[in-house]
């Protein structure tokens, strides 16, 4: 490869940084999810759905709105809700004003499970992730996320 071809490739340090980042934060995520699972029998997907539902007016959301809110494919949400419904965490009811749609609603059991999970989950985030850093490092990390989002043009109008 000539000099021209190398310019758009990472150096070995850069590549190592990428791999370290991915592998390290995979472990972080796994630890936090595993704590959630052990404390509350909830997956991170369950938690995301329950969080959105518990914040919703009347603990009810139209399925599509829910999918949009948590940025999931509708088919993904559909499958996930099916599993959560089997476990009694949510219920689905037909929608009066639009016969195609359906309302997803939080059951009492779902609300209970969610409320019991939040404090331990937030503790896990603090202990596993936040507590690893100095305030400066946390700021730096945030800057990095901002830089990526700008670079990839996320947050675009």
- Residue 82 contacts DNA per CB under 7 A: yes
Choose between 38 and 88: whose C-beta lies nearer to its own copies. 38
Contact assessment for residue 85 and residue 91, using Cβ atoms and an 8 Å cutoff: yes
Q: What is the smallest separation between the CB atom of 108 and DNA, expressed in angstroms?
A: 21
Q: What is the smallest separation between the CB atom of 144 and DNA, expressed in angstroms?
A: 23
> Binding-site residue total for DNA (CB under 7 A)?
29
DSSP-derived pairing of the beta strands 90-94 and 60-62? unpaired
Beta bridge partners of 106: 90
- Residue 98 contacts DNA per CB under 7 A: yes
* Cβ atoms within 10 Å, residue 84: 25
Q: What is the smallest separation between the CB atom of 64 and its own copies, expressed in angstroms?
A: 21
* 124 Cβ contact partners less than 8 Å away, ≥ 6 residues apart: 31, 32, 35, 36, 39
Which position among 73, 108, 153, 155 is part of the footprint of DNA (CB under 7 A)? 73
Tell how far CA 86 is from the center of its chain. Answer: 22
Which helix (H) or strand (E) element contains residue 93? Answer: strand 90-94
Dist. CA 92–CA 94, nearest whole Å: 7
- Of 90, 114, 87, 89, whose CA–CA distance to 102 is shortest? 90
Piece of the chain touching its own copies by CB under 8 A; list 35-43, 79-87, 100-108, 125-133: 125-133
Q: Which residues bind its own copies (CB under 8 A)?
A: 5, 8-10, 14-15, 17-18, 20-22, 24-25, 27-29, 31, 119, 122-123, 125-134, 137-138, 140-152, 154
Give me the residues that bind DNA (CB under 7 A), please.
34, 43-46, 62-65, 67, 72-83, 92, 95, 98-102
């Amino acid at each position: 490869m000539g000099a021209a071809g190398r310019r758009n490739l990472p150096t070995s340090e850069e590549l190592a940084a990428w791999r370290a980042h991915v592998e390290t934060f995979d472990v972080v995520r796994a630890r936090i999810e595993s704590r959630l699972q052990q404390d509350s029998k909830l997956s991170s997907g369950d938690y995301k759905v329950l969080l959105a539902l518990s914040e919703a007016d009347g603990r009810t959301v139209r399925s599509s709105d829910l999918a949009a809110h948590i940025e999931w494919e509708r088919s993904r949400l559909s499958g996930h809700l099916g599993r959560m419904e089997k476990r009694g965490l949510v219920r689905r009811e037909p929608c009066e004003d639009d016969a195609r749609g359906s309302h997803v609603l939080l059951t009492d059991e779902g609300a209970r499970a969610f409320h019991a999970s939040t404090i331990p989950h937030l503790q896990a985030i603090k202990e596993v992730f936040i507590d690893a850093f100095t305030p400066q490092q946390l700021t730096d990390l945030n800057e990095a996320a901002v830089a990526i989002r700008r670079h990839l043009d996320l947050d675009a109008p």
